[in-house]
Amino acid sequence: MKILYLVNLYPKVSHSFIRREIIALESLNIPIVRVSVRKAEEKMADPADEKESTITRVILQAEKHIFFKSVFLVLARPLKFWLALKLTVQMGWKSERGILRHLVYLIEASVLKLWSEQEQISHIHAHFGTNSATVALLCHQLGGPTYSFTTHGPEEFDKVNDIGLPEKIKRASFVIAISSYGKSQLYRWSDLKDWPKINIVHCGLEKEFFDTSRQAIPEQPQLVCVGRLAPQKGQLLLIEAVYQLSKLGIFCQVTLVGDGPLRSEIEDLITKYQLKEQVKITGWASESQVKEHILQSRALILPSFAEGLPVVLMEALALRRPVISTYIAGIPELVKPNWSGWLVPAGSLSDLVEVMQKVLKMSTQELEEMGERGYQEVLKEHDVRKEALKLAQLFSKQSTSLRDATSTLE
């Protein structure tokens, strides 16, 4: 059994959960071939991601003769090609990206099919139900390996028809959701007969993360927010909350770890409210640096408007730090209010200010007790090796079905 992992952009700063999953599968003696559709333009902040980039094949960086050869080979099987082309046009017609972009996906799928044959791939697993899953589906339609994919949200659930999610579920061997909420969304967009193929496999953390030495929570009024600086993460609301606290005479320091399209707007708001002494932006950080920022804080705060299930919440709890987040998507499955953290209605400034004020005034002993409870929950539900074992069993089941089908044909 040899699995090809397909991602639109890999490695990437915000995709450490995919790297962890791949490495955990390899520790179970499952060979993994890494393929990315595109190459990340950003500099890798983590040495582990830098290492992954050296062993990841990139479709759009393949030499020209590879594209010509792969297209020639799929044209040699006209029926398969015609069915794949028909599906490509159907999906492209309903998509915002149009037919032309989907024809590009078909060419990418032909390269993927060639590489799959060369590597003797048993099965393709894509992360995200967007264009990587489209390429995997079209590769299968061209006669390539069976495929599955993991959905994360929120994008897949915001653009269901645009990305052809129902068709992808229908043709996949199985589909992964990272939370019960995600599973319910896949149920919404699939036929009842396809429900048994939808499974939950959590994103997880490696043993080394859980083994990080216990560190006391600091007395300083320090909070940390880790994530891409983007509208759905709610950082602008967080700045508003810090400003409201300052008007109440409550001093709070917040470190934003990450970067993204909203950075200049966040910086403008910090300047407008004269919060430069209270809010700082670090840019992207390595895994070890993120750990350090979390450990230097009383709690991690992520006031998101749209999410799947943020891995950084797991990381904070694994480091025994309580978290503040919102009642959306899969987050309530991870964070138990007033037990391992706090949840507020998404977009509610007053509720966010109230909870931040509470965290800043709580004793470190109370915070550490909450952090310990969160640690135990994450250890039970988000151990990457345990979650990888669930995937391995699904891959093995698929491989067995394929062998049985082949034996029947013979």
Q: What are phi and psi of 81, to 5 degrees?
A: -65, -45
- Helices 384-409 and 16-27 pack at an angle, to 10 degrees, of 60
pTM score: 0.94
Q: Would you write out the chain's pLDDT as a tens digit for each of its 410 residues?
A: 999 999 999 999 889 999 999 999 999 999 999 999 999 877 777 889 999 999 999 999 999 999 999 999 999 999 999 999 999 999 999 898 899 999 999 999 999 999 999 999 999 999 999 999 999 999 999 999 999 999 999 999 999 999 999 999 999 999 999 999 999 999 999 999 999 999 999 999 999 889 999 999 999 999 999 999 999 999 999 999 999 999 999 999 999 999 999 999 999 999 999 999 999 999 999 999 999 999 999 999 999 999 999 999 999 999 999 999 999 999 999 999 999 999 999 999 999 999 999 999 999 999 999 999 999 999 999 999 999 999 999 999 887 765 554 444 34
**Which residues, including other chains, have CB under 8 Å from residue 63's CB and lie 6 or more apart?**
none
Q: What are phi and psi of 125, to 5 degrees?
A: -120, 120
**Which residues, including other chains, have CB under 8 Å from residue 401's CB and lie 6 or more apart?**
173
User: What is the chain's alpha carbon radius of gyration, rounded to the nearest angstrom?
Assistant: 23
Task: Map out the domains of the chain with their CATH numbers.
Answer: 3-204+384-409 (3.40.50.2000), 207-381 (3.40.50.2000)
Q: Which of 264, 191, 253, 199 is nearest to 223 (CA)?
A: 253
Going from the C-alpha of 192 to that of each of 120, 147, 150, 198, 410, the distances in angstroms are 33, 20, 19, 11, 33
86-104: burial string, b at 16+ Cβ within 10 Å, e else: ebbeebbeebeeeeeebeb
Task: Say how far residue 243 (Cα) sits from the centre of its chain.
Answer: 31
Q: Which of 96, 6, 66, 48 is nearest to 287 (CA)?
A: 48
- What's residue 405's pLDDT? 45
Asked whether the beta carbons of 34 and 22 are under 8 A apart, the reply is: yes
- Written as six digits, the tokens of 204 are 């997880």
